Amino acid sequence: MESLHFGITSGKHGTAANHLAYITRDGHYAARNDLVTTGHGNMPSFAADNPMLLWKAADQHERRNGSIFRSYTISLPNVLTVEQLIDLAWRQARQLAGIKPFQFALHLSRTSLQGELNPHVHIVICDRLPDGIERSPEQMFKRYNPAHPEKGGCRKDSGGKAPQALHGHMTAQRKAAADEINAALAKHGHALHVDHRSLRERGITRAPEKYLGPARIRKMTTEERAAYVKKQRGEH
C-alpha cells in the first residue's frame, strides 16, 4: 500500500499570477520540460478564455491580509498512461474545486534518486464562491455583503471556519483524492492501492523519511543514493 502525497498551501496577496505561471510553465518557466497539460474551469466571464486574468485580478484587488488561493499538489500513480493521468487530473481538480474557479497543471518529471516517473498535479483554486451575479474583476474581490450580495464581492469559502472544521475538511479532501486515485487504478486493472492516512493513523511506528531536496541529492555519491533507496524500500 502506498502513501498519498497531498500537499496544500495558501496563496498570499500578490503571489497568484506568478504561482500560476510557475505551475503552467509560462514565461521564464517555459524552459522546464515536465508539463503535460493544463486546464481550467468555473472561471468568471471576464476570465473565461484567459484564466490568468482572474489571478491577476486577485493579486490586484483581494484584501492585502487575505489569502487569494489554495494550491494543492497531489502525487499520481506512475503505472497509468498519459491519457489516464490527464483524465485523473481533471477529476481531481473538479472534485476539489466544486463550483469555485480552478486551474490545474499536470507534470511528469523523474525522481532525482531513482529516475522513476513522478506524475503529479498542481491544482489552484480561487477561494471566492460564484453566486450567479455578474461582477467586474474589482468587485469580485470586495468584501461580501450578505444583505445585498449584488453590491459586494463573492463570498469567501473559508471565511469564519474554526481550525477544527478546516482540519476536518482537509482530511475529507485527502480521502476523496485517494478514493479517486484508487478508482482509476481499479478501472485500469492495477492492484496498487493508496492510503490517505498518516503512518501513525495506520499504526506504523517508523518515522517518515526526511525530505532531502534536489540540491542535497545531487551531492550524494552513487553508493549513498543506493543506500538511501534501499532504506526507503525497507531493504537491508
- Whether 211 sits among the annotated catalytic residues: the reply is no
Catalytic residue among 22, 29, 211, 228: 22
C-alpha 109/C-alpha 115 separation (Å) is 9
Q: Which three cell numbers stand for residue 12?
A: 498570499
Contact 158, 173 (CB under 8 A): no
Instruction: List C-alpha distances in Å: 61 to 5, 51, 53, 68.
Output: 33, 16, 12, 10
Give 117: exposed, middle or buried? Use CB within 10 Å, 0-12, 13-18, 19+.
Answer: middle
C-beta atoms surrounding 190 within 10 Å: 14
The DSSP line for 165-216 is HHHHHHHHHHHHHHHHHHHHHHHTT----EE-S-TTTTT--SPPPPP--HHH
C-alpha 121/C-alpha 88 separation (Å) is 9
For the chain, give the number of residues.
236
Instruction: List C-alpha distances in Å: 128 to 68, 94, 182, 193.
Output: 8, 15, 30, 34
Residue spans of beta strands (DSSP E) within the chain: 2-3, 6-11, 35-41, 69-75, 102-110, 117-126, 194-195
C-alpha 117/C-alpha 79 separation (Å) is 9
Query: Which are the catalytic amino acids?
Result: 22
